[in-house]
Amino acid sequence: MASPQLVDRFGRVHDYLRISLTERCNLRCFYCMPECGIELRDNAVFMTEEETIGIAKIFTELGVKKIRLTGGEPLVKKNAHELILGMSSLPVKMAITSNGVLVDRFIQTFEKAGLKTINISLDSIDKYKFNEITRRDYHDRIINNIHLLLSKGFRVKLNAVVIRGVNEVEIPQFIELTKSFDLSVRFIEFMPFDGNQWNWDKMLSYKEIMEHVASAYDQDDVIRLNDEPNDTSKNYKIKGFKGSFGIISPVSSPFCESCNRLRLTADGRLKNCLFGQEEFNLLEPFRNGEDIKPIILNAVQAKHKERGGITALDHTFADQKWANRSMTTIGG
């Protein structure tokens, strides 16, 4: 196994790469996709299957041990089956985050690729509310696919972005799902990105999410679990329930100190932080046959201590977000 070379100025070892396979998506979640959609660009600007795997391989040579495929919706990518299988031949733990719409077509591919856990995003248990959030009508299909994954023995993590006035009342209902299903539900604080209708009032903090938990469950029944190293969620379970729940709080209590993540966008740009504005073009030099390792090392050295250099958690945080891409074009 390669020794870690992706160590930044703050001693953080970067061994986790999130790759966006595509900017496209079959849903239109209002908090992720700008209302007007995203500019559809020529296919030539995006990494091909071979380029994605080729660039990923170089990261593994530099010490990356885990790769998550994301997007946009990774399963709408042309050749997604081949890409998942090709990626699984690399010496990494592989993971995927999907909206679940197409999961039934990928069960065998997931099995062949050795995927054990599938992250599915589901922001509402209520079909009509879900349709409003996603501006599409796929709730039944996604729920069926979650059951399918569980019946096939996959571990499922359900991700829900909590937005005030939209779905915060469903926090206990989501946790109730963990009573009889061995699911992990993760509540994500709403983050600001280009054109996503974010403001402070809509954001429920970790503390506020826990207040909703406290209003539904006896304090003695809420058990704090040990978090994994580099875990972005603070994890809990309700006594006697099969599954667990966690809170991901990038806004109110960032986990930058233990960050081990890098991001590769579908157009082959390396981002050293989700909130960062800097991008490092890997695709063009890769296509020209150049060595991209020095660019990757340089990008890691350029990483800021916190949130891509956004330090102030006041109104300027909201202002600075506009210089970033939308979530669907970064890769969540």
- By CB under 6 A, name the binding residues for ligand SF4: 25, 27-29, 32-33, 71-73, 99, 121, 328
- CA 265 to CA 250: how far, in whole Å? 20
Which of ligand SAM, ligand SF4, none lies near 159, with the C-beta cut-off 5 to 8 A by kind?
ligand SAM
Tokens of 112: 């062949």
Q: The tokens of 156 are what?
A: 């499922």
| Site mask for ligand SAM (CB under 6 A), range 234-253, x = bound | --------------------
d(CA 81, CA 112): 10
Q: Which residue in the set 22, 121, 184, 260 belongs to the binding site for ligand SAM (CB under 6 A)?
A: 121
Residue 190 contact partner, candidates ligand SF4, ligand SAM, none, CB within 5 to 8 A by sort of partner: ligand SAM
| Measured distance CA(278)–CA(274) in Å, rounded | 10
SS3 141: helix
Residue (99 or 272) nearer to ligand SAM, CB: 99
Residue 159 lies near ligand SAM (rule: CB under 6 A) = yes
Strand positions, DSSP E, 182-257: 183-189, 222-224, 233-238, 244-248
- The single residue among 15, 23, 49, 73 that binds ligand SAM, judged by CB under 6 A, is 73
* 308 interacts with, out of ligand SAM, ligand SF4, none, CB within 5 to 8 A per kind: none
Q: How far apart are the first and last CA of the chain?
A: 27
Sequence length of the chain is: 332
Q: Is 133 in the site for ligand SAM (CB under 6 A)?
A: no
**Would you say 328 and 72 are in contact if contact means Cβ atoms under 8 Å apart?**
yes
User: What's the closest the beta carbon of residue 15 comes to ligand SAM, in angstroms?
Assistant: 20
Report which residue type is found at 50: E
Instruction: Return d(Cα 32, Cα 34) in angstroms, integer.
Output: 7
- Candidates 193, 241, 275, 286: give the one binding ligand SAM (CB under 6 A): 193
Q: Which residues bind ligand SAM (CB under 6 A)?
A: 25, 31-32, 70-71, 73, 97-99, 121, 159, 161, 188, 190-191, 193, 196, 327-328, 332
